[in-house]
């Protein structure tokens, strides 16, 4: 019987009413009195030296307030990087300066060179066209391996070369891993590309800077997943504004997918310019600008090798990855191919020895950073592809090979530094086999072949590390931030609650699911709980939403704060009921004395807290408001098994997905409907990566896929009806809700299933195709078949 509220209920998303009726309040909806508009003049050259910028003609054009160039920011900090990776020799990564506006050189198409602030956007654009910029074009560094050759053109003249870092993990295991490969009965190796992607949230980025001269306070309204992080980074490291004089508001945000985590130049610019011009300054990204200024995702080139013994047990994994950083280090870029990638290389398998090498490379392209999954899709893709390839080489069933090597005992310490607390990989695979009707596949394949199509079945597993993260651990790993979360629970006199969370919702449905948790704990209707997020002025310091962390970390902070509320309310209730506090029970929104019929309603207790006429003032303070910070003791480890069935048209190479089944273990679930929606969205993006999306540069550093005319987003008719199950639940052992997080799973788990399925289809027709690089667009599949 489904619940009609609280934890486990598929409560309808309350925020959708405003989103779907045009009543949302997005950053672009915010317009300030006297606001000016900024247009950024961006480089259309990938790499070059700026020899001259002449703004004189532009400055006198109608409506122009002020024109800024790099020289206006010489005394201002550059864009900070929030994670320092240490290389395999113990040296810190090479970290170039990242200016707000280009200083002396341009290093990627889209880099802002000048900014025109004007009374209207049209006037700003007109004036920007009158700015004369002379650039001596230099050879563009695009290919990562070429970028590391001796004598390669340097993206940053003041660095030794284009290598950000050369990371080995675990370096001490390297020799043992190499030995295991020498001793292996079978080695499977695979070279592959994890294609560069553009996140493409529905809402482009927007920033509005405001400055109050009377109080010397700056406010930034921005499309961010983490307003407190932006306030800290921008205030402390870029503009030198103390946090008590700086407010950052991220109101309704129309999708982030990672690319709205980072602190961007446009945010710092609008905040700076609002003070410099003494006027609010607004920037709204066009879709074209988004393609060349939002941080991109993925872009790894990898060689992975899997060693097996004579009984097909995995004995070692060895990988070498080139990871594209782009021209500058985006906020969390260095962490993605290292600590979010290497630590996941064990996957679901008890491989005893693993060595991961990652070379992060600077190129003349847009910076690359976290995108839904961030490192974990890259790890999952290569691992699940090489396992599938090994099964084919050995002539064994790919599911049986996986099952044979599954981790079955928990907690399990991997050789790549993390300890899985719980999981049941056979359980999700059992579920998948049931959902996928594998027994019926042969008949479905025969039917496809009758219609001239090839049919393939691909299966894979995934594990991810979510709920980032223990602050002391990530501090050791190079994070320049803590990764706790916070919540303040304010109970009003009449019993309603406002929960102010450091998490940020930009599509996840927190306003609904977070309210369900608090309502369940107190036993009240969830409509009595309001969730407030997104404004540093009225939420406690929190690290924001990404990495599937919000229910696991933010939800835990909320539970802790609510527990404090309940504890205090019990004290009040014991006073009102003239009973011992130890005897007070809270159930269904009422406090009662155990073993009696004496009780007092939630609302009477909350009223007493604010109208303390009959109140234990000598023992406790009036009021009912508590804050908690929660720092997790471990990551959470969602896992699952996915199956994809494709048809391939051998005449055209066109792939269609006929069936897709996802069996996930997210631990406990707050709102099953929202979880299903999160999985659907993740699957759409993962399938998008596998079949459609391709962010491509030419050799001159020009973006070839710079609009929707060439960048293929997944559309509804590209996708099948998904079969999604999350009934396999091994609760997380170390957070109070037993939850693991579900936001990224679909994007992590689906690409290898798709590619495995297409390879299966082609091999069924006798094609000697062992791998095709994503996206598996028709031309690539046809070329592979006719290679």
The one-character DSSP state at 237 is I
Q: Which of 35, 288, 313, 764 binds other proteins (CB under 8 A)?
A: 288
**Minimum CB separation from other proteins for residue 372, in Å?**
20
Rounded to whole angstroms, the Cα distance separating 393 from 145 reads 29
Neighbours of 518 (CB within 10 A): 26
Q: Give which of 130, 131, 78, 75 is closest to 107, Cα–Cα.
A: 78
Stretch that binds other proteins, among 25-33, 313-321, 357-365, 689-697 (CB under 8 A): 689-697
Neighbours of 476 (CB within 10 A): 9
Burial of 705 (0-12, 13-18, 19+ CB in 10 A): middle
Rounded to whole angstroms, the Cα distance separating 499 from 539 reads 9
Q: Hey, is 421 helix, strand or coil?
A: coil
**Minimum CB separation from other proteins for residue 489, in Å?**
46
Task: Determine, following the binding rule CB under 8 A, whether residue 696 of this chain makes contact with other proteins.
Answer: yes
Q: Are 96 and 361 in contact (CB under 8 A)?
A: no
Considering the complex, state which of residue 140 and residue 692 has its C-beta at the smaller distance from other proteins: 692
Considering the complex, state which of residue 31 and residue 786 has its C-beta at the smaller distance from other proteins: 786
**Minimum CB separation from other proteins for residue 64, in Å?**
17
List 460's β-bridge partners, or say none: 642
Q: How far is CA 165 from CA 333, 364, 488, in A?
A: 12, 17, 40
**Minimum CB separation from other proteins for residue 705, in Å?**
6
Neighbours of 427 (CB within 10 A): 17
Considering the complex, state which of residue 197 and residue 557 has its C-beta at the smaller distance from other proteins: 197
Size of the site for other proteins (CB under 8 A): 25
Task: Determine, following the binding rule CB under 8 A, whether residue 120 of this chain makes contact with other proteins.
Answer: no
Considering the complex, state which of residue 588 and residue 710 has its C-beta at the smaller distance from other proteins: 710
Stretch that binds other proteins, among 255-263, 692-700, 735-743, 751-759 (CB under 8 A): 692-700
**Minimum CB separation from other proteins for residue 287, in Å?**
10
Q: Which of 185, 434, 537, 708 binds other proteins (CB under 8 A)?
A: 708
**Minimum CB separation from other proteins for residue 452, in Å?**
11
Q: Which of 1, 310, 439, 709 binds other proteins (CB under 8 A)?
A: 709
The size of the chain, in residues, is 787
Stretch that binds other proteins, among 6-14, 96-104, 516-524, 687-695 (CB under 8 A): 687-695
Task: Determine, following the binding rule CB under 8 A, whether residue 778 of this chain makes contact with other proteins.
Answer: yes
Rounded to whole angstroms, the Cα distance separating 81 from 360 reads 14
Rounded to whole angstroms, the Cα distance separating 454 from 184 reads 35
**Minimum CB separation from other proteins for residue 152, in Å?**
25
Considering the complex, state which of residue 199 and residue 692 has its C-beta at the smaller distance from other proteins: 692
Rounded to whole angstroms, the Cα distance separating 9 from 3 reads 5
Burial of 355 (0-12, 13-18, 19+ CB in 10 A): buried
Q: Give which of 146, 462, 177 is closest to 322, Cα–Cα.
A: 146
Q: Are 222 and 249 in contact (CB under 8 A)?
A: yes
List 622's β-bridge partners, or say none: none
Q: Which of 257, 514, 630, 711 binds other proteins (CB under 8 A)?
A: 711
Neighbours of 602 (CB within 10 A): 21
**Minimum CB separation from other proteins for residue 37, in Å?**
15
**Minimum CB separation from other proteins for residue 777, in Å?**
6
Rounded to whole angstroms, the Cα distance separating 501 from 550 reads 10
Task: Determine, following the binding rule CB under 8 A, whether residue 773 of this chain makes contact with other proteins.
Answer: no
Q: Hey, is 691 helix, strand or coil?
A: helix
**Minimum CB separation from other proteins for residue 61, in Å?**
14
Considering the complex, state which of residue 516 and residue 694 has its C-beta at the smaller distance from other proteins: 694
Considering the complex, state which of residue 333 and residue 454 has its C-beta at the smaller distance from other proteins: 454
Rounded to whole angstroms, the Cα distance separating 219 from 208 reads 8
What are phi and psi for residue 246, nearest 5 degrees? -135, 125
Helical H runs in 102-208? 121-129, 144-147, 174-183
Neighbours of 245 (CB within 10 A): 13
Q: How far is CA 48 from CA 139, 239, 293, 327, in A?
A: 8, 27, 18, 12
Rounded to whole angstroms, the Cα distance separating 165 from 334 reads 9
**Minimum CB separation from other proteins for residue 43, in Å?**
17
Q: Are 131 and 58 in contact (CB under 8 A)?
A: yes
Stretch that binds other proteins, among 12-20, 100-108, 203-211, 700-708 (CB under 8 A): 700-708
Q: Which of 345, 459, 692, 732 binds other proteins (CB under 8 A)?
A: 692
Q: Which of 23, 57, 443, 704 binds other proteins (CB under 8 A)?
A: 704
Rounded to whole angstroms, the Cα distance separating 88 from 166 reads 6
Considering the complex, state which of residue 71 and residue 708 has its C-beta at the smaller distance from other proteins: 708
Q: Which of 694, 729, 730, 756 binds other proteins (CB under 8 A)?
A: 694
Considering the complex, state which of residue 537 and residue 704 has its C-beta at the smaller distance from other proteins: 704
Task: Determine, following the binding rule CB under 8 A, whether residue 1 of this chain makes contact with other proteins.
Answer: no
Q: Give which of 219, 205, 210 is closest to 261, Cα–Cα.
A: 205
Task: Determine, following the binding rule CB under 8 A, whether residue 710 of this chain makes contact with other proteins.
Answer: yes
Stretch that binds other proteins, among 48-56, 154-162, 541-549, 775-783 (CB under 8 A): 775-783
Rounded to whole angstroms, the Cα distance separating 22 from 231 reads 28
Query: Maximum CA pair distance of the chain?
Result: 86
Stretch that binds other proteins, among 48-56, 227-235, 467-475, 710-718 (CB under 8 A): 710-718
Over the window 629 to 668, marking each residue x when it contacts other proteins by CB under 8 A and - when it does not, the resulting string is ----------------------xxxx--------------
**Minimum CB separation from other proteins for residue 704, in Å?**
5
Task: Determine, following the binding rule CB under 8 A, whether residue 705 of this chain makes contact with other proteins.
Answer: yes
Stretch that binds other proteins, among 237-245, 408-416, 567-575, 691-699 (CB under 8 A): 691-699
Considering the complex, state which of residue 588 and residue 651 has its C-beta at the smaller distance from other proteins: 651
Q: Which of 498, 541, 712, 765 binds other proteins (CB under 8 A)?
A: 712
Residues whose CB is less than 8 angstroms from the CB of residue 662 and which lie 6 or more positions away in sequence, other chains included? 640, 642, 679, 683, 722, 723, 724, 725, 745, 746, 749, 750
Rounded to whole angstroms, the Cα distance separating 403 from 215 reads 64
Rounded to whole angstroms, the Cα distance separating 270 from 126 reads 19
Q: Which of residues 514-533 bind other proteins (CB under 8 A)?
A: none
Stretch that binds other proteins, among 423-431, 705-713, 725-733, 755-763 (CB under 8 A): 705-713
Q: Which of 125, 303, 444, 564 binds other proteins (CB under 8 A)?
A: 125
Over the window 727 to 766, marking each residue x when it contacts other proteins by CB under 8 A and - when it does not, the resulting string is ----------------------------------------
**Minimum CB separation from other proteins for residue 324, in Å?**
18
Judged by the rule CB under 8 A, the positions of this chain that interact with other proteins are: 122, 125, 129, 288, 651-654, 691-692, 694, 696, 704-705, 708-713, 777-779, 782-783
């Amino acid at each position: 019987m489904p619940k009609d509220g609280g934890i486990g209920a598929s409560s309808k998303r309350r925020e959708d009413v405003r989103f779907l009726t045009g009543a949302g309040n997005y950053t672009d909806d915010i317009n300030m009195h006297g606001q000016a508009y900024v247009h950024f003049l961006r480089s259309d050259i990938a790499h070059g030296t700026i020899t001259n910028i002449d703004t004189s003609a532009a400055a006198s054009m109608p409506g122009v307030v002020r024109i800024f160039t790099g020289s206006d920011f010489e005394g201002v900090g550059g864009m900070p990087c929030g994670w320092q990776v240490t290389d395999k020799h113990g040296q810190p990564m090479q970290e170039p300066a990242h200016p707000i506006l280009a200083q002396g050189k341009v290093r990627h198409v889209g880099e802002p060179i000048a900014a025109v602030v004007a009374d209207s956007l049209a006037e700003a654009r007109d004036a920007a066209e009158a700015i004369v910029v002379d650039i001596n074009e230099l050879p563009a560094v695009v290919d990562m391996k070429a970028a590391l050759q001796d004598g390669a053109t340097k993206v940053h003249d003041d660095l030794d070369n284009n290598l950000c870092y050369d990371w080995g993990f675990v370096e001490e295991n390297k020799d043992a891993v190499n030995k295991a490969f020498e001793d292996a009965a079978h080695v499977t190796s695979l070279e592959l590309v994890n294609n560069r992607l553009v996140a493409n949230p529905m809402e482009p980025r927007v920033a509005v800077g405001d400055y109050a001269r009377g109080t010397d306070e700056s406010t930034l309204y921005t499309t961010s997943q983490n307003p407190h992080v932006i306030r800290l980074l921008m205030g402390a490291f870029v503009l030198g504004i103390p946090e008590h004089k700086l407010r950052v508001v991220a109101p309704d945000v129309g999708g982030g997918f990672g690319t709205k985590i980072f602190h961007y130049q446009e945010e710092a610019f609008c905040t700076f310019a609002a003070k410099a011009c003494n006027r609010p300054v607004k920037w709204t990204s066009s879709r074209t600008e988004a393609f060349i200024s939002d941080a991109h995702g993925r872009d790894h080139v990898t060689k992975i090798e899997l060693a097996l013994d004579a009984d097909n047990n995995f004995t070692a994994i060895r990988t070498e990855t080139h990871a594209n950083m782009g021209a500058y280090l985006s906020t969390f870029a260095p962490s993605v191919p290292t600590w979010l990638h290497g630590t996941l290389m064990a996957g679901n398998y008890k491989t005893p020895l693993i060595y991961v090498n990652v070379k992060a490379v600077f190129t003349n392209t847009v910076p690359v950073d976290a995108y839904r999954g961030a490192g974990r899709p890259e790890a999952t893709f290569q691992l699940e592809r090489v396992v599938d390839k090994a099964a084919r080489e050995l002539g064994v069933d790919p599911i049986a090979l996986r099952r044979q090597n599954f981790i079955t005992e928990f907690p399990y310490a991997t050789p790549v530094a993390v300890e899985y607390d719980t999981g049941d990989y056979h359980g999700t695979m059992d579920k998948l086999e049931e959902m996928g009707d594998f027994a019926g596949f042969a008949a479905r394949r025969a039917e496809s072949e009758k219609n001239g199509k090839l049919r393939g079945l691909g299966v894979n597993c995934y594990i991810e590390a979510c709920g980032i993260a223990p602050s002391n651990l990530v501090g050791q790993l190079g994070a320049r931030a803590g990764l706790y979360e916070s919540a303040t629970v304010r109970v009003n006199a009449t019993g309603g609650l406002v929960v102010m969370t450091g998490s940020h919702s930009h599509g996840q449905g927190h306003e609904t699911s977070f309210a369900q948790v608090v309502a369940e704990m107190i036993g009240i209707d969830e409509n009595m709980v309001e969730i407030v997020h997104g404004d540093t002025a009225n939420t406690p310091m929190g690290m924001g939403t990404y990495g599937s962390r919000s229910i696991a970390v933010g939800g835990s902070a909320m539970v802790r704060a609510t527990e404090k509320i309940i504890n205090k309310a019990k004290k009040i209730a014991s006073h009102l009921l003239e009973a011992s506090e130890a005897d007070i029970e809270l159930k269904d929104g009422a406090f009662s004395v155990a073993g009696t019929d004496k009780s007092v309603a939630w609302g009477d207790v909350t009223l007493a807290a604010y109208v303390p006429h009959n109140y234990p003032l000598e023992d406790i303070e009036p009021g009912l408001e508590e804050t908690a910070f929660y720092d997790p003791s471990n990551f959470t480890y969602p896992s699952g098994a996915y199956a994809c069935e494709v048809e391939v048209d051998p005449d055209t190479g066109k792939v269609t997905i006929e069936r897709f089944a996802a069996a996930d273990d997210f631990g406990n679930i707050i709102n099953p409907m929202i979880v299903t929606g999160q999985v659907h969205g993740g699957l759409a993006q993962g399938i998008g990566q596998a079949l459609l999306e391709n962010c491509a540069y030419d050799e001159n550093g020009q973006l070839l896929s710079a609009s929707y005319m060439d960048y293929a987003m997944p559309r509804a008719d590209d996708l099948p009806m998904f079969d999604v199950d999350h009934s396999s639940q091994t609760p997380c052992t170390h957070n109070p809700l037993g939850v693991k997080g579900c936001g990224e799973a679909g994007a992590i788990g689906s690409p290898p299933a798709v590619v495995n399925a297409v390879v299966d289809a082609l091999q069924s027709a006798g094609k000697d195709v062992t791998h095709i690089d994503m996206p598996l667009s028709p031309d690539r599949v046809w070329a592979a078949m006719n290679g």
